[in-house]
Amino acid sequence: KGLRFGRHADLKTWWTLRRMVKRFRPDIVLTWMNRATAACPSGDFVHVARLGGYYDLRHYRGADHLVGNTRDIVAYLRRKGVPADRSHYVPNFVDATPLPAEPRARWGTPEDAPLILGLGRLHPNKGFDVLIRAVAQVPRAHLWIAGVGSLEDDLRELARSLGITDRVSFLGWRADVAALYAAADVFVCSSRHEPLGNIVLEAWAHHVPVVAAASQGPSELIAHGVNGLLVPVDNDAAMAASIETVLRETGLRETMVAGGRATYEGHFTEAAVVRAYADLFARILPNR
């Protein structure tokens, strides 16, 4: 049953949840993020709350166990005083369903040109200015950026100032990102701040080699040279050099694609994450 969680205290939702819990009599209740966790009634069950960021833990006082979707979030919980036996790591999963490749001709991209893909909000944190500067240093490379945000005009002007307007395409918001991965030769995560790195998981799932700025999420996920390449944050020259390396070295590219897919299949499929939650529940239930 779908429930609406308002921005402020929502008594109707709280009472509905309370009735549902009383009727269903669960052994475990799993809540997602601040509002659902704060609205969860108390009862004779184990309350597990999942965080997707470095949130204010006041919202989580009623939870028995906390789940972070990165290891660094779990470390944050423990620094905040959550005991190790009540703070757990379970990652996100991403969908690997393929789609036919986005036609390059739609964006004026030659079939034989190296195609670099970037995804995300057009926000300073995402570092698309760095990516555009990097692509300007890679001969013949074209860049697709899929996302929307307040920086689009600035990024277009940067491409113009670098003389690569014809090599940079802004695709807007796209739900069919699998089609973009299918068309790309290299995926680049240029973020200055990227706590999670779901886009890295998506690239792995779709067999695309990854170059990433070494922000928090990608650094946790990527084994350099095995399932991706890491470059210093805000370093367009290093990013360009790594893109060229991936394009030039077939053996490395194949190693990274295989390594990324293996990492995805081992830890970040829906089945793997469901199994991780089931294992967690099996561990904590006897200790309720």
What is the 3 state secondary structure string of the chain? CCCCCCCCCCHHHHHHHHHHHHHHCCCEEEEEHHHHHHHCCCCCCEEEEEECCCCCHHHHCCCCEEEECCHHHHHHHHHCCCCHHHEEECCCCCCCCCCCCCCHHHHCCCCCCCEEEEECCCCHHHCHHHHHHHHHCCCCCEEEEECCCCCHHHHHHHHHHCCCHHHEEEEECCCCHHHHHHHCCEEEECCCCCCCCHHHHHHHHCCCCEEEECCHHHHHHCCECCCEEEECCCCHHHHHHHHHHHHHCHHHHHHHHHHHHHHHHHHCCHHHHHHHHHHHHHHHHHHC
pLDDT (0 to 100) of residue 67: 98
The predicted-structure confidence for 177-230, as pLDDT tens digits, reads as follows 999 999 999 999 999 999 888 999 999 999 999 999 999 999 999 999 999 999
Q: What is the mean pLDDT of the chain?
A: 94
> φ, ψ for residue 38 (rounded to 5)?
-65, -30
pLDDT greater than 80 at residue 39: yes
Mean local confidence (pLDDT), 14-19: 80
Using CA atoms, how far apart are residues 82 and 73, in angstroms rounded to an integer?
Answer: 11
Mean local confidence (pLDDT), 238-267: 98
pLDDT (0 to 100) of residue 195: 86
The predicted-structure confidence for 113-129, as pLDDT tens digits, reads as follows 999 999 999 999 999 99
Mean local confidence (pLDDT), 27-41: 89
Work out the angle between the directed axes of helices 250-267 and 236-248 (0-180°, nearest 10): 100
Using CA atoms, how far apart are residues 252 and 139, in angstroms rounded to an integer?
Answer: 20
Query: Do 190 and 127 meet the contact criterion of CB atoms below 8 Å apart?
Result: yes
Using CA atoms, how far apart are residues 170 and 148, in angstroms rounded to an integer?
Answer: 9
Using CA atoms in the order 164, 211, 244, 178, what is the torsion angle rounded to 10 degrees?
A: -70
The predicted-structure confidence for 155-181, as pLDDT tens digits, reads as follows 999 999 999 999 999 999 999 999 999
pLDDT greater than 90 at residue 286: no
pLDDT greater than 60 at residue 8: no
Q: How confident is the model at residue 61 (pLDDT cuts 50, 70, 90)?
A: very high
Maximum mean pLDDT: which of 20-29, 35-44, 69-78, 235-244: 235-244
The predicted-structure confidence for 128-151, as pLDDT tens digits, reads as follows 999 999 999 999 999 999 999 999
Other residues' Cβ atoms within 10 Å of the Cβ of residue 158:
18
Domain definitions of the chain by residue range? 11-93+269-287, 104-266
CATH number of 104-266: 3.40.50.620, 3.30.9.10, 3.40.50.1820, 3.40.50.2000?
A: 3.40.50.2000
Query: Do 213 and 191 meet the contact criterion of CB atoms below 8 Å apart?
Result: yes
Query: Do 168 and 146 meet the contact criterion of CB atoms below 8 Å apart?
Result: no
Establish whether domains 11-93+269-287 and 104-266 are of one fold: yes
* Maximum separation of any 2 CA atoms in the chain, in Å: 65
Q: How confident is the model at residue 9 (pLDDT cuts 50, 70, 90)?
A: low
Using CA atoms, how far apart are residues 195 and 116, in angstroms rounded to an integer?
Answer: 22
The CATH architecture one would assign to domain 11-93+269-287 is 3-Layer(aba) Sandwich (3.40)
pLDDT (0 to 100) of residue 40: 87
Q: How confident is the model at residue 1 (pLDDT cuts 50, 70, 90)?
A: low
Mean local confidence (pLDDT), 53-66: 92
pLDDT (0 to 100) of residue 14: 72
Mean local confidence (pLDDT), 26-33: 93
